[in-house]
Amino acid sequence: MEKLIISPAPHIHSGDSVSKNMYGVVIAMVPALLASLYFFGLGALIVTLTAVAASVLFEFLIQKYILKGPVTILDGSAAVTGLLLAFNLPSNLPLWMIIVGALVAIGVAKMSFGGLGNNPFNPALVGRVFLLISFPVEMTTWPVVDPLATTYLDAETGATVLGILKEGSASLPAVSDMIVGNIPGSLGEVSAIALLVGLGYMLIRKIITWHIPVSILLTVAVFTGILYLADPATYASPLVHLFSGGLMLGAIFMATDYVTSPMTFRGMWIYGVGIGLLTVIIRTWGAYPEGVSFAILIMNGFTPIINFYVKPKRFGEKPKKA
């Protein structure tokens, strides 16, 4: 180099980047994706591809033609949003609804606030909740598990665990089936074990810290445990709560979204406990059988307040006298 470069310290960088983190999340979602491809077959493939493609495309179009700014679709954040959206949808959802969901997620929830880093709510969840409110029937008729099925829209449907809990219409599937994912549900949420593998990967790569998932899962387990002990006939066991519905997906991939979660460990605990409590409250006493999405969105709304009031543990905060 002709001229030496001068800059303030530090002079080295970890080499970490936004795209590394985003693609790390994508890799962490692969086990759950494979599980869903196995359990729901073709439908899962179509829904996932559509959601991802639509999200990336909308981001591209908005950045290029509306904002006329730099295009950053390669950083992987749109792909993550698309995948997360797909994970939250039943595998027999019509294409156009998926595209509407992606438009809401990217266009409304993300780009209108200034793009990555500025959105107050998790885009994928906003997309999902929008679809849930607009098309409640389509969004809550889940196909039953049919390994490597080749059906898409016309798949046979069945009730989810939480649906059964709410309505009490049939007997619950075995917990082992829930862990593996052999139950009806949104395509990415069914296999708890695959999601946990993803969590392990993200923890090892230091993409996220353990605080949010653990605090959510722990709260749900404790809260439902208390209810269960008080009245086992009315309330389901903590195991059923932990491994059913979108809890694992929510705790591992949705609540841990960088932009919309608190910045400090203490804040993360408050946030996680809040999500856990709200989830159980909505599930047991609310109108909807599932409450994870709402709980996360509500706590997303609290995140700025948490960030304002909850500060990290400062060095020397409580001086220890020996």
Partner 1 sequence: MLTDLILSFFITTMNVVLISLITLGVIGAVAAIILFVVAKKFHVFEDPRIDEVEAALPAANCGGCGFPGCRGFADACVKSDELGDLFCPVGGNDTMAKVAAILGKTAVAQAPKVAVVRCDGTCEHRPRYNEYDGVKHCFIAHNLYSGETNCSWGCLGFGDCELSCEFDAIKVNPVTMIPEVDDDKCTACGACVRACPKLLIELRKKGPKGRRIYVGCRNEDKGHITKKACDVGCIGCAKCFKVCPHEAITVGNNLAFINDEACKLCRKCVEVCPTNAIKEINFPPRKVKEEEAVAAE
Partner 2 sequence: MKTFRIGGIHPAENKFAAGKKIITAALPGQVVIPLAHYIGTPADPVVKRGDIVKVGQIIGQASGFISANVHSSVSGKVVKLDVQLDASGYKRPAVFIEVDGDEWLETIDRNPEIKRECTLSKQEIIEKIKAAGIVGLGGATFPAHVKLMPPPGKKAEVLIINAVECESYLTCDHQLMMEHGEEILIGVTILMKALEVNRAIIGVENNKKDAIQLLKKLAADYKGIEVEALKVRYPQGGEKQLIDALIRRQVPSGRIPVEVGAVVQNVATTYAIYEAVQKNKPMVERVMTITGKDAPNPGNYRVRLGTYLSNVVEEAGGVPEGTGKIVGGGPMMGRSLMNLNIPMAKGSSGVVFIRDAEAIRKPVQNCIRCTKCVTVCPMGLEPYLLMAQSERNMWTEMEANRTMDCLECGSCSYTCPSNRPLLDYIRFGKSTVGGIIRSRTAK
Which residues of the shown chain bind partner 2 in the complex (CB under 8 A)? 1, 4-14, 16-18, 20-21, 72, 75, 77, 114-118, 209, 258-259, 261-265, 307, 311-322
Residues 299/122, Cβ–Cβ less than 8 Å: no
Element (H, E) at 143: strand 142-143
- 6/133 with CB nearer partner 1: 6
- The amino acid that residue 238 corresponds to is P
Residues 53/109, Cβ–Cβ less than 8 Å: no
Q: How far is the CB of 259 from partner 1 (least distance, A)?
A: 23
Query: Should residue 322 be labelled a site residue for partner 1 when binding is judged by CB under 8 A?
Result: no
Query: Should residue 12 be labelled a site residue for partner 1 when binding is judged by CB under 8 A?
Result: no
Q: Look at residue 116 and give the partner it binds from partner 2, partner 1, none, a contact being a CB closer than 5 to 8 Å depending on partner kind.
A: partner 2
SS (H, E, C) 182-250: CCCCCCCCCCHHHHHHHHHHHHHCCCCCCHHHHHHHHHHHHHHHHHHHHCCCCCCCHHHHHHCCCHHHH
Q: Which two tokens stand for residue 59?
A: 């981001």
Piece in contact with partner 1 (CB under 8 A), picked from 5-13, 140-148, 214-222, 248-256: 5-13
Query: Should residue 13 be labelled a site residue for partner 1 when binding is judged by CB under 8 A?
Result: no
Burial class (CB in 10 A: 0-12, 13-18, 19+), 250: buried
Query: Should residue 7 be labelled a site residue for partner 1 when binding is judged by CB under 8 A?
Result: yes
Q: Look at residue 12 and give the partner it binds from partner 2, partner 1, none, a contact being a CB closer than 5 to 8 Å depending on partner kind.
A: partner 2
Piece in contact with partner 1 (CB under 8 A), picked from 4-12, 182-190, 219-227, 229-237: 4-12
Q: CA–CA separation, 118 vs 121, rounded Å?
A: 9
- The amino acid that residue 172 corresponds to is L
Query: Should residue 6 be labelled a site residue for partner 1 when binding is judged by CB under 8 A?
Result: yes
- 8/316 with CB nearer partner 1: 8
In 62-106, which ranges are continuous DSSP H helix? 77-87, 95-103
Q: How far is the CB of 14 from partner 2 (least distance, A)?
A: 5
- 5/137 with CB nearer partner 2: 5
Task: Provide the CA 265 distance to its chain's centre, in angstroms.
Answer: 19
Judged by CB under 8 A, the residue of 8, 15, 70, 319 near partner 1 is 8
Binding region for partner 1 (CB under 8 A): 3-8
